Chain A
């Protein structure tokens, strides 16, 4: 298993007991054996902001929309939704847009602000750090781009370029390294290659995906 040095999830993560090759640390990779480390850290805040671009919603609606599209295996907890919305509100990325009366308690509606739209734009345009098991995050970005009428192929291509740049870096290091370095680099290269193939396949299926998510 490979995991970025960046800690992206609160899920239990066991650091590697044995240090990996220094060259891979420099490139942001660290071999791990703890299976749960494959679960990617998803930016819930950005995803909720992206969902709010269609119009104001209250927290329950947002959770439902998130779970339907992105939370098949890991639905959001209500606490996560409201904590995230509070943070977005505090940072000026969403604002309150009235209260919805109903049978139960009143529900606050939230609307994305201009700063929130800019934040989503920036997130979509920024490639993720190339690392294996990014599909959940990338899938989310692609779907949100399609839902908002942005170019999803740009999201995929910017990621593709980032992946190939890292693959070039690893290939160069491999050329100068010993057998151990070569094997470690190969491991990362094969995983990155799998991601890149997924990016290609998704690019080829964007038309169908757009139909599916916007119907």
Chain B
């Protein structure tokens, strides 16, 4: 694959699309007509103030939350029409997740953590660990393969999490403040590695962040304010 970390997205295919999403938690509205379309190979930054609804939008897009109103369509399937089991299966096979922290299983080694989604998909241990090791090497953290997450630095742990998100070859990676707990240098390296790997595999990335320098790794930006989304027009 020749595409670099910042090469342009494939404009032809809308993989995942949310339209007119509404979602409330009790009396509190979190989404009020938000929408977002994501194409294959594209990195979309979702920005907005705290409490604006951007994480809720990400969770609805990923099928973790079901919107009260509106649709989320992945390829030709509407997520709300799927049962819980089918949505979980879809998240394991087609989606990858990177969060700010607390996502690795502390009792497992880093290698086992990365191999975990493959093992849950019935891939044999040897094969799963071999693929996991390749991804750890790609993310430049092969040396922590046998360590537990608690024995790694924040930056190393986050790279392990990125490896785990990508090991199944997901079509969409959801990253919610993936550098929020890291210093500038580590955050930058994690973003470079995440975006490079996603571009190389033509995976789309939905990147929730409040950091403009992290959003600068995206191809375009959507801002969420008061539960409504607004596409920022690129300046030509």
A binding-site residues for B, Cβ under 8 Å = 127, 157-158, 160-165, 167-168, 170-172, 175, 189-190, 192-193, 196-197, 200, 203-204
User: B213 near A161 (CB under 8 angstroms)?
Assistant: no
User: A164 near B216 (CB under 8 angstroms)?
Assistant: yes
CB distance from B209 to the nearest CB of A (A): 12
Distance between Cα atoms of A164 and B233 in the complex (Å): 10
Of the stretches B108-116, B165-173, B217-225, the one at the interface is B217-225
Closest 6 CB pairs of A and B: A167-B216, A171-B216, A196-B212, A161-B232, A172-B6, A193-B212
CB distance from A197 to the nearest CB of B (A): 7
Supposing A157-B232, A162-B235, A204-B49 touch, asked if A189 and B5 sit within 8 A by C-beta, the answer is no
User: B212 near A192 (CB under 8 angstroms)?
Assistant: yes
Q: How large is the interface on B (under 10, 10 to 19, 20 to 34, 35 or more residues)?
A: 20 to 34
B binding-site residues for A, Cβ under 8 Å = 4-6, 49, 192, 211-213, 215-218, 221, 223, 225, 230, 232-235
- Chain B residue, CB-CB nearest to A196: B212
User: A157 near B223 (CB under 8 angstroms)?
Assistant: yes
Chain A interface SS verdict (over half): helix
Residues of B within 8 A of A161 (CB): 221, 232-235
User: B216 near A160 (CB under 8 angstroms)?
Assistant: no
Of the residues A158, A162, A170, A197, contact of B216 by C-beta under 8 Å:
A170
Supposing A161-B221, A175-B6 touch, asked if A197 and B232 sit within 8 A by C-beta, the answer is no
CB distance from B114 to the nearest CB of A (A): 25
Distance between Cα atoms of A190 and B216 in the complex (Å): 12
- Chain A residue, CB-CB nearest to B49: A204
Supposing A168-B218, A172-B6, A204-B49 touch, asked if A193 and B223 sit within 8 A by C-beta, the answer is no
- Chain B residue, CB-CB nearest to A168: B216
Residues of B within 8 A of A163 (CB): 212
User: B6 near A164 (CB under 8 angstroms)?
Assistant: no
Supposing A161-B235, A200-B49, A204-B49 touch, asked if A171 and B217 sit within 8 A by C-beta, the answer is yes
User: B212 near A164 (CB under 8 angstroms)?
Assistant: yes
User: B230 near A175 (CB under 8 angstroms)?
Assistant: no
